[in-house]
């Protein structure tokens, strides 16, 4: 019977590059015990999620929340617990050998500025607070996975390195991941999973982006007295019109957005300065590069036209400053990590929608390291808004899925 099972397993397992399929793993007593623990512990996981959410973690100010995760990593018996130079909190659950080294991460930071009220309120079972799903959920799931592995006494062939990282959101610019893969765990990561947000989706395409702040400047002057002088805001208007007219492919999806503008002195003054923030994105590195070139050409042309229009009087300049770079990348659909994640989901009777996103996994994807992002379960709404909510109905499934995936990948 045993031999028969093994024989039956051969083609499937070989295709996944695994010793056992996730469905077979479910039959192991230690794995079952861990999965049962994850389900039983879910109320405590939800409490932890609320507790972590209530420790403010504004962009660039993740230290306090990081300190609490570090304490919990130590309490859960992780080894080599440390905080790296960027502020990522790292801890290792050793395996029987050094490889494969699987990294599980969740991000510490939120999009909310210092002073935002982050206390959690409850409406029935639904939790409400800024950051409750993104990514307090990921952090709580990651900690619940460690706890369940311990309670089930699961031993894995390879180690699992857990990371609570900084700088995932906005102008954080993935600095935690860039440091992790460029310095603190450079060359040591075989597989990477980020637990980010809610739901049971799976992200295997990392949308790349370039973000600019462009400043337009000129001498400025009186609107009536100095009339005839080039105008930085009008030059910016020309630039925006040109950006708006750019042709971008829908496949691979490539986008642009002028998201914020500002500047000027007074209604009756030719401004000396104006600025805009622009976001360029694509799932394809080459398309992003092409869009970037068109964007720069549009700026240059707009400034030339404005200066020409006013005979180069008080000429205007445009200075684009690159304020964000998210590398694009993709983990192939047919790769072992994606197939394993789908098989794990299927073994738990979870239907996992596969999609693209812009997450911590962009960095390893860009380096060619097998990487995906998964949702932490439950149902979230209003991420990045003050009205963010988390509905914990069946959220234990998200914890179980992350757990079984960790076990399946660490071999």
Q: Is 388 in the site for Zn ion (CB under 5 A)?
A: no
21 vs 110, beta carbon nearer Zn ion: 110
Provide the minimum distance between the beta carbon of 197 and Zn ion in the complex, in angstroms, as a whole number: 5
H/E stretch holding 208: strand 208-217
In the bound state with Zn ion, the residue whose beta carbon lies nearer, of 135 and 306, is 135
- Residue 144-183 contact track with Zn ion, rule CB under 5 A, x = bound: ----------------------------------------
Whether residue 410 contacts residue 160, with contact meaning beta carbons closer than 8 Å, is answered with yes
Closest CA to 163 of 80, 58, 257: 80
Got the DSSP string for 34-61?
Answer: HHHHHHHTHHHHHHHHHHHHTS---TT-
Q: How far is CA 332 from CA 226, 278, 409, 410, in A?
A: 59, 29, 16, 19
Give 135 or 165: the residue with its C-beta nearer to Zn ion: 135
**Closer to Zn ion by Cβ: residue 81 or 174:** 174
In the complex, the smallest distance separating the C-beta of residue 384 from Zn ion, rounded to whole angstroms, is: 9
Size, binding site for Zn ion by CB under 5 A: 3
Q: How far is the CB of 190 from Zn ion (least distance, A)?
A: 23
| Closest separation in Å from C-beta 175 to Zn ion | 14
Question: Would you give the binding string for Zn ion spanning residues 121-140, x where CB under 5 A is met?
Answer: -------------xx-----
The smaller minimum CB distance to Zn ion, of residues 20 and 194, is found at 194
Instruction: Indicate the residue among 199 and 285 with the shorter CB distance to Zn ion.
Output: 199
Binding mask 194-213 for Zn ion (x = CB under 5 A): --x-----------------
| Opening angle at CA 328, ends 378 and 191, nearest 5 | 60
Give the SS3 label for residue 148: helix
Scan for tokens 């992002």, then name that residue.
Answer: 373
- In sign, the C-alpha dihedral spanning 286, 167, 42, 158 is positive
Q: Is 335 exposed, middle or buried (0-12, 13-18, 19+ CB in 10 A)?
A: middle
Q: How far is the CB of 208 from Zn ion (least distance, A)?
A: 17
Q: Which residues of the shown chain bind Zn ion in the complex (CB under 5 A)?
A: 134-135, 196
């Amino acid at each position: 019977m045993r031999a028969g099972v093994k024989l039956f397993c051969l083609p499937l397992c070989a295709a996944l590059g695994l010793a056992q399929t996730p469905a077979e793993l479910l039959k192991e007593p230690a794995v079952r015990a861990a999965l049962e623990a994850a389900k039983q512990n879910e109320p405590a996981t939800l409490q932890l999620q609320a507790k972590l959410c209530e420790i403010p973690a504004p962009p660039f100010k993740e230290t306090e929340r990081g300190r609490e995760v570090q304490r919990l990593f130590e309490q859960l018996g992780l080894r080599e617990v440390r905080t790296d130079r960027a502020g990522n909190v790292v801890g290792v659950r050793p395996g029987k050998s050094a490889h494969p080294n699987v990294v599980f991460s969740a991000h510490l930071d939120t999009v909310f500025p210092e002073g935002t009220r982050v206390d959690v309120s409850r409406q029935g079972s639904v939790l409400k607070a800024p950051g409750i799903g993104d990514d307090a959920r990921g952090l709580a799931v990651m900690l619940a996975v460690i706890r369940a592995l311990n309670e089930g006494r699961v031993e894995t062939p390879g180690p699992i390195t857990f990371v609570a990282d900084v700088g995932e959101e906005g102008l954080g610019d993935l600095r935690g991941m860039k440091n992790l893969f460029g310095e603190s765990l450079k060359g040591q990561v075989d597989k990477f999973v980020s637990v980010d947000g809610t739901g049971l989706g799976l992200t295997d395409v990392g949308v790349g982006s370039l973000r600019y702040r462009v400043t337009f400047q000129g001498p400025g002057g009186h609107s009536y007295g100095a009339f005839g002088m080039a105008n930085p805001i009008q030059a910016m208007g020309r630039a925006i019109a040109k950006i708006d007219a750019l042709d971008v492919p829908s496949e691979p999806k490539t986008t642009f957005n002028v998201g914020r503008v500002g500047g000027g002195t007074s209604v009756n003054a030719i401004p000396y300065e104006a600025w805009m923030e622009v976001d360029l994105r694509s799932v394809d590195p080459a398309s992003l590069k092409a869009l970037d070139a068109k964007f720069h050409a549009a700026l240059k042309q707009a400034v030339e036209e404005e200066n020409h229009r006013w005979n180069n009087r008080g000429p205007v300049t445009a200075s684009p400053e690159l304020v964000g770079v998210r590398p694009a990348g993709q983990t192939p659909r047919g790769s072992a990590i994606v197939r394993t994640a789908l098989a794990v989901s299927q073994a738990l009777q979870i239907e996992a929608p596969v999609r693209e996103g812009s997450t911590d996994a962009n960095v390893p994807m860009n380096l060619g390291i097998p990487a995906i992002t998964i949702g932490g379960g439950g149902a979230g709404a209003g991420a990045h808004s003050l009205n963010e909510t988390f509905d914990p109905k069946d959220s234990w499934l998200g914890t179980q899925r992350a757990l079984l995936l960790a076990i399946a990948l660490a071999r």
